[in-house]
Structures are given as structure tokens and as C-alpha cells.
Structure 1
């Protein structure tokens, strides 16, 4: 039996001693005595709740679903360098953002703070004398959260698994105890092994619970949440059979059903009071939601301008490539339902005025004025949704088809068409793609359409070979610069923040692109 300790020590004394790469979070003393108390502490210390910001806050500036809006002068007192730096993949982005007055997000420490909360629960839970189901539920939640958090960390700060799994990843901190020395970075493969281990153990523990406790719409992790994460992790590891198997567990789970977009009303000029958008990350408005997490501000920061002035508009928009992707197949209902429109009007490629497509969507918004993001106690910025399970299954089966598994192609196609019938008008015609490469490309584009603005695109581009992408930037009203992220560019892996390097001398920085990254005049 471990020495009994005050829980505060876990989140303050110990946190401040692990190579100092975390800071104390709380100073209130509390000794947990039962599983329910630990469960509440887990919610407070390890869950990425909707009142916690600074997670993945600028990842949506990195991919190719975003483009600059027409030029406008930056308001007095503001500095465009705060979003220019990540948008143009500058290796010294943190310094540039700091000089622009932005208290940049230290994604590294934000994630480790939550991981430490999960570790503390896991260290303490076996000392609790309580109902076995209650204890297993707490342990399953903590393991699911730790797996989820490490998955995000490794895909932000480590190279893609399928590119170089022996490269440096992130340090694995698996307990809340005081370390005798600072922690080195584990390899990408070692981190993935731990993620899988945590998620499989969480799955085992959830299966010991009564079926009605394996998932509830209560913002907690669950068995289907773990299954979806396992599907995602195995997909990134290119273990296609396992990715398809765990995705199918989610698809066949009777708690979730695809949302028919034909039932979602769109904006009507005749009746502007009709809501155009619902919050797709809500248990109450979407039958697809498995687990909700994250803050709306993290999704809209940099890409939404709160000014009500008709002369102001967001500095970014949804890219033309993304919008054109919806048009590859006729009458895709997602184009008008997933992308929030600004009241600012632009001339489109058909030389027509249209409301500018914003670089965010699917979140809780007001239908008044120009669909202002609205944060409420129940509004979350992101979720794990059933649709991802369908797409994980399709991609995994398509890759098996390419590898020579004859029936896998038809399985992918059948599931793809089953899914797409909920995204098109009732006269939807099935796709019939027999070429493996064309099927894979189609499914990649389907992921882009379905999962836009949900923190998937950047990760997908990384694992799909890190292709060259370009961002344009307007330094003034007369100029346009083009910045290029080359194929396999070091900029596809985010640099570690300076704070993390200063607090842990054993950390090694990622390979960096040349600094500064220069734009080319268009």
C-alpha cells in the first residue's frame, strides 16, 4: 500500500518537481475517499472541458482548408503577426507571436497538465475501497483521457508514425511521482505503443461494466469513445484490419445514428429567422456525438472577427479548394451546413456576390446578424462523431483493397455509400469506383468534406505524405505573398515551445525549417 497522500500534493508539489515542465494547478487540500470523489477530481484535473482554452488553438491555421480574406487594415492596437506566424509556418512562430503581444498557447504544457491529472487518479485509485464497477469506471476514464491526450501531443510535436516512427516524439510521463531527473523525449513508436496500451486497458475495464454504464451522454469518456480512438490510432499506424475492426464496433453501436442533413434547415433570405446551422458537437442536436470536448474560442480564435461593423470582416476564409471539394459531387448538403457564412460579401468564381465562407463551422452560433459563435455552459468546440468511424472504416478497407484483399474494396464502397446517403438529397446515386487508387483519393476527399474544421485535416495531410501546400498573405492592400510548405517539410512538425525547452534541459528541439520562412511575391 502506497503512503497515503493529500491529493493536492499530486497536482502541486509533484507537478512542480517533474523536471518543472508543469506548474501547480491547485492549492486547495482534499483527500479523496471514494470513487465518486476521484471521478469528480478527474473531471476537474484531466478532462479537456469546454471552459479550458489553449488546446490546438492555432492548428487550424496550418492546413489547406484556410485562406486569407480580402485585405483590410488591422485595428489599432492589434498586430497581424500574431496569426501570420503560424499561418506561414514560421519556425520561430512563438517569438513572433510574443512580439506581437500574443500570449501564445503553450500546447505542450497544456496537454501535460491534463495528463498529470489523469496520472494522479491512476496512482491513487487502487487505494480506494469502493464498489468495483465505480473504481473500474474511474480507471477507464483516466486511461482513455491519457491515450487521447498523448495522441494529440505526438501528432503535434512528433513526426508522422508512417514517416519515421523512430524519430523523437514526446516524453512519456506515466505517474504523478517526483522524477529524480528530467525526462527525455520517447520515440514516436514508443508513444504510440503506450497510447494503444492505455486504450486497450480502458476498453477491457469498460467491458466489465453493465452495458448502460459503457456510454452515457454525460460528457464523460466511454467504450465507443475508446473504440473510435483505437480505430484512429491504428489508422495512423497503417494497421488497416485493426482500424476497420474498431471502427465497425462504433458503427454497429446502437446508441448512435447518422444525422440526416436533409432535416437541417438552411438560411432563407425570405425568412432570416430560420436557423442555418446547428451545433454538431451536441448530444441534444446530433445523434452522431460520442464524446464532446474543447472550447469554442479555440476553434474561432484568429478566424472570426467579432466586430459588428459592416466594413470589418474575418481575416481568414474557407479556402476555395475546400469549397470546390464539396462541388466534386453534385448537391452535397454539407457545403451549406458545415461552413459558417459571414455577412461580408465577396465575388465568387461565377462572378456573383455571395456571403463569404468562414474558416470555421459546426459550432454553436447565433442565427442573428452573421452567425456569431456563442459559448454557453453546454456548448463544446469539438467532438468525436460517428461519421469518423465510417470514414476510418472506408479508408482502412480501401487500403486493404489496394494491398490485394479482394472483397475489401466492395466493403469500403458499400459503407461509403451508406454514409453518403445521409449527406445528399433523397435522390442520391451510389458511387461505383473500382480502381483502388481512385477509391482512396475519393475517401481522402470525403474526409476533407466531412471533417473540416475539426482538427483532422492537418493530421491527415501529415500521414498522407506531407504534400506541398501554399498559403497566400496580404501584407498590405497592394501586395500578395505566397508561402510554401514543401513536401516533407520540417514545418509539418510543430516546434517545441521555448518554455518547455527552458524547463527541461534534456528536451531536444525538432528539426526546423529555415528561419525566417520567406514569401514570394505573387
Structure 2
């Protein structure tokens, strides 16, 4: 007889900080009687809600879209090592961060908590007798969420698929029962295979439903969410035809339309010197929004942890490299709409004062002059957006073009221009690029411009060859430290957390970079 899971206990596993996140343990029973009850339990046990924390924490500190702001005095009691450790790619980053009092750094367990919830739902629903459509809705969501969780886990803790798919990924836990033995890590290829299996089953189930139940703006997963994720997965696997096919399914979905940034005002009529910013992760604000998820603090805590000054100046800013990327194509409306500025002024590379571009954007922020990220009921930090489908299609077709398919190059360029006209003023002039490699580079940069601060850049850098990254850190007012993540550095794959290794003796740690990683010190 199937083991029954206590959902109240699962909640304690997810939110109570218990380390044994793979194995729920029962001491009494609460058994859902119908699929509708399971559908509601999904929200509490498996969804990445606006209150759910721990997902991709500090990920935004790793890539090249962020750099340190000019030195700021920390708040009393704050230890800068909590953000220095991930920002400088220290292999002992968990140890350093915990020493500062930051104990909510376990991304690994956060995603396995999601998987635990989906497994419990899928195990329970086998014995439920109910309307087939409701059953299929529940199963489709569970498979979609499990595929999404494993996709993030394997791209955080496993090597890129196109680099070494035989390398160790993460353990596959596909049921809610207690295992007789500890779980070894599956290979990256095996994890990707399971992701595809889950997402393809979710797609099949969604397609069995009436059309009006395949997507609703209700914060739940959907057919287009699954198809966009499949496009992303195939892109990472370099299965270009499949990536393009699934991206096109999303583009052709009549529920979504590209948002014309010309319609988004950046100044308030009554306060012409006070810009306004839009929360793009919202069904109400954007016709591009497919699915919303995630907690605000996961995205902004480390990049907006403020100094002792009354203005609350952030320790990080958008990198000059990112800001220059917008300037490569003059007139790009995203530079002012996607990157939130702080009132604090800095001297830019042209020796001009400018309001500091912050290392986040597209989020819900306060209307004050300091634009502090704000959370609340129904405010999410991330979303799946239609724009990604356009860029996935462009990249996939451009790669097919480089392989010799001239028609694919034509389609990539046409799709690129169809997309970009919504990001530039009405006098936008189409790009005309004939060289396949130049087209790929342009699309990579376009992806950077469009998807900045949305958990894409780090993963993209990994699959595009893991180029060298340099991060500047200011330990005091007079010194500068420059840390280098070398090309193909082990630091491009996160180490497994210490508590996961302690709980599972069969887990093997990833190859580690030197600890500590030293920076090149200069005087200002």
C-alpha cells in the first residue's frame, strides 16, 4: 500500500528549515479525498509563490551584469562577507555566508522541497476518483513544476549540458516514499531526460483539456508555460529545431502579445524629474506575461542590501558592460525602462554624474526617490515572458543558419526585427546582418538586453562557453580588489551545500576552485 504523506509535515519540511528534504516522515494521516483538494494543496506544497523564498538566491551576483558600486559603509551589524562570498565566486561561499548569520542560502533544499510536493501530489492522485479534467489539471501542474525545479537544480549544480552531459548532475527523486538507501547523483544527461519526460507529459495533459483551461492568468502553470520551458530546455541541449518549434508555439498563442515600450511612460507628468517604473512580472501590466513566480527578496536582497547612509545606497549596480550593451543600438528604450535608477549619483566612465543604474529592474518598486524593491500580496519577482520565445527562436534559427541552412538565417533575422520594433521608437530601422557568426553574436547581446536580471544571464554564459568574468570589489574607501573567474573555471558550477553532503553520504562534491579565491589588490 502506498505510503501516505502528511501535508502538514511537508509544510514544516519546506518552511521549518529541516535539512532532510528528500524524505518526508509520517506520524498521522491527512488524506485528500478529491482532485480539487489536491489542486489547492499544490499551491502550498509545490508552487513557487510570492511568499516562497530560497530560489536562486545570490544568482544575480555571479554574472557580468552586476558590479560593485562605489564603496559604502555597511550598516551596523551587517557583515559584507555575506555578499562578497558569492560575488567573488568563493568555493566555501556557504561557510562564509553562514558565518555572517545568513542561514537561508540553501537553494538546493528549496528546489527539492518543490519536488517533494509534486511527488506527493502525483503519488496521491493515482487513487483519486474524480472528473478526468480536474485530475489532468493537477497532474499537468505537478509535472511542469517538477520539470522546472530539476531544470534549475541541474543548471546550478551540474556542468552545462553542451559541455559534459556525462558529468554528475543531481539526484533524481521521483516518488514521495522513503528510500531504502541514500541517493547518488544522476548524470546531467539523465536529469535532462527526466525533465523532458516530465514536461512532455505535462504538455500532453494540458492538450487534453478544453482550450479555455490550457492557460489562465491565475499564477498557475499552463500549456504555453510548459512549451516555453521546453523551448528553453532544447536550446540548452542545442537541439535547435525543437527549440525553434516550441518557441513558435508560444509566439503563435493568441493570449500573448509583445508590449510596445513606446507606450510605457518613464516620467510622471506632475514630477518630470522623477521617473516611474513598471512591474513587468504582472498579468495586468504586460500582455507578454505567461507565468509569474518567486519572492522579491530572492532577487533583490543581495543587490539592494543598503549602506549606513540615510539614502540607503546599494552596494551593487548594473555593470558598465551591460549599460554599454544597450548603447550598441542607439534608441533602445529598454535602457531607461528595464534598469531602475537610484537617486544616488555616481561618476560614469565619461566623467559625468548620473543616477546610479541599479542591479535589478522590471520589478515592483516604491514610488520614493530611492526606488526600493517592495513585496506584498500577489507581487512576484520573476515571470515567463513572450519575449523569451522570440529570442529562443532567433538563436535556434541562427545556429541552424551557421550549420548551412540559409533559410533559417532569414527567419532568424525576420523574427529579430519583428521583436525589436517593440523595443525602439517608431522610426526603428531593421537590422541587416548576413554573416552567420555576427548574427549569433547580435542575438546573444539582444538576449542580454532583453532578459537582464531575470535569472538567464548566468545560465547563458555557462552554455555559451563560460568566458572569463572579472568582478571589482571595494573592501574599503582606498582599495580595490579584482576577482577573476577564468574561462571554464570550476566556479561556473556551484558547489553542493555542506548540509546536503552531510545528510547524504553518497553525494559527491563538484570539483572546486581554489579556496579562498584571491583578488588582485590595487589602491584607489
What's 1:8 paired with? 7
Residue 75 of structure 1: CA displacement? 1.8
Which runs of structure 2 are paired with 1:230-245 in the superposition (5 Å)? 230-245=230-245
Confirm whether residue 188 of structure 1 aligns to residue 188 of structure 2. Answer: yes
SS in 2 for 1:226: helix
Contact map agreement 1:12 1:26 (CA 8 A) in 2: no
Residue 311 of structure 1: CA displacement? 5.3
Offset from partner CA, 1:278-317 (integer Å, 9 cap, x none): 1100000010000000011111111114579455410000
Residue 354 of structure 1: CA displacement? 1.1
Taking the aligned partners of 1:315 and 1:383, their CA distance within structure 2 comes to: 25
Residue 333 of structure 1: CA displacement? 0.2
Contact map agreement 1:273 1:367 (CA 8 A) in 2: no
TM-score (norm 2): 0.95
Confirm whether residue 127 of structure 1 aligns to residue 136 of structure 2. Answer: no
Which runs of structure 2 are paired with 1:225-374 in the superposition (5 Å)? 225-267=225-267, 271-272=271-272, 276-305=276-305, 309-310=309-310, 312-374=312-374
Quick one: structure 1 residues 13 and 69, their matched pair in 2 at CA, closer, same or farther if it must change by over 3 Å? closer
Taking the aligned partners of 1:343 and 1:27, their CA distance within structure 2 comes to: 55
Residue 477 of structure 1: CA displacement? 0.8
Confirm whether residue 116 of structure 1 aligns to residue 116 of structure 2. Answer: yes
SS in 2 for 1:119: helix
What's 1:219 paired with? 219
Residue 192 of structure 1: CA displacement? 0.1
Quick one: structure 1 residues 285 and 13, their matched pair in 2 at CA, closer, same or farther if it must change by over 3 Å? closer
Contact map agreement 1:65 1:359 (CA 8 A) in 2: yes
Unmatched segments (≥5 aa) in structure 1: none
Residue 27 of structure 1: CA displacement? 8.6
What's 2:394 paired with? 394
TM-score (norm 1): 0.96
Taking the aligned partners of 1:75 and 1:26, their CA distance within structure 2 comes to: 44
Unmatched segments (≥5 aa) in structure 2: none
SS in 1 for 2:238: coil
What's 2:198 paired with? 198
Quick one: structure 1 residues 45 and 206, their matched pair in 2 at CA, closer, same or farther if it must change by over 3 Å? same
Contact map agreement 2:51 2:294 (CA 8 A) in 1: yes
Quick one: structure 1 residues 19 and 293, their matched pair in 2 at CA, closer, same or farther if it must change by over 3 Å? closer
What's 2:80 paired with? 80
Quick one: structure 1 residues 373 and 181, their matched pair in 2 at CA, closer, same or farther if it must change by over 3 Å? same
Contact map agreement 2:5 2:24 (CA 8 A) in 1: no
Residue 99 of structure 1: CA displacement? 1.5
Offset from partner CA, 1:232-254 (integer Å, 9 cap, x none): 00000000000000000000000
Confirm whether residue 492 of structure 1 aligns to residue 488 of structure 2. Answer: no
Taking the aligned partners of 1:466 and 1:309, their CA distance within structure 2 comes to: 37
Offset from partner CA, 1:484-508 (integer Å, 9 cap, x none): 0000000000000000000000000
What's 1:473 paired with? 473
Taking the aligned partners of 1:25 and 1:96, their CA distance within structure 2 comes to: 31
Aligned-residue Cα RMSD (Å) equals 2.2
Taking the aligned partners of 2:146 and 2:173, their CA distance within structure 1 comes to: 10
What's 2:65 paired with? 65
Q: Which of 119-128 and 310-319 deviates more? A: 310-319
Q: Which of 212-221 and 69-78 deviates more? A: 69-78
Taking the aligned partners of 1:241 and 1:189, their CA distance within structure 2 comes to: 19
Offset from partner CA, 1:214-244 (integer Å, 9 cap, x none): 0000000000000000000000000000000
Which runs of structure 2 are paired with 1:388-427 in the superposition (5 Å)? 388-427=388-427
Contact map agreement 2:159 2:169 (CA 8 A) in 1: yes
Offset from partner CA, 1:82-106 (integer Å, 9 cap, x none): 0000000000001111112221411
Contact map agreement 2:24 2:177 (CA 8 A) in 1: no
What's 1:445 paired with? 445
Residue 401 of structure 1: CA displacement? 0.1
Residue 22 of structure 1: CA displacement? 3.9
SS in 1 for 2:121: helix
Offset from partner CA, 1:51-93 (integer Å, 9 cap, x none): 0111111000000000010112212211100000000000000
Taking the aligned partners of 1:361 and 1:444, their CA distance within structure 2 comes to: 19
Residue 267 of structure 1: CA displacement? 3.0
Taking the aligned partners of 2:5 and 2:481, their CA distance within structure 1 comes to: 56
SS in 2 for 1:123: helix
Taking the aligned partners of 1:36 and 1:12, their CA distance within structure 2 comes to: 19
Quick one: structure 1 residues 27 and 149, their matched pair in 2 at CA, closer, same or farther if it must change by over 3 Å? farther
SS in 2 for 1:407: helix
Offset from partner CA, 1:3-59 (integer Å, 9 cap, x none): 47364388389999x993447599995321111100111111000101011111100
Residue 453 of structure 1: CA displacement? 0.3
Offset from partner CA, 1:303-354 (integer Å, 9 cap, x none): 1145794554100000000000000001100000000111100112232211
SS in 2 for 1:480: strand
SS in 2 for 1:426: coil
Contact map agreement 1:12 1:27 (CA 8 A) in 2: no
Contact map agreement 1:97 1:104 (CA 8 A) in 2: no
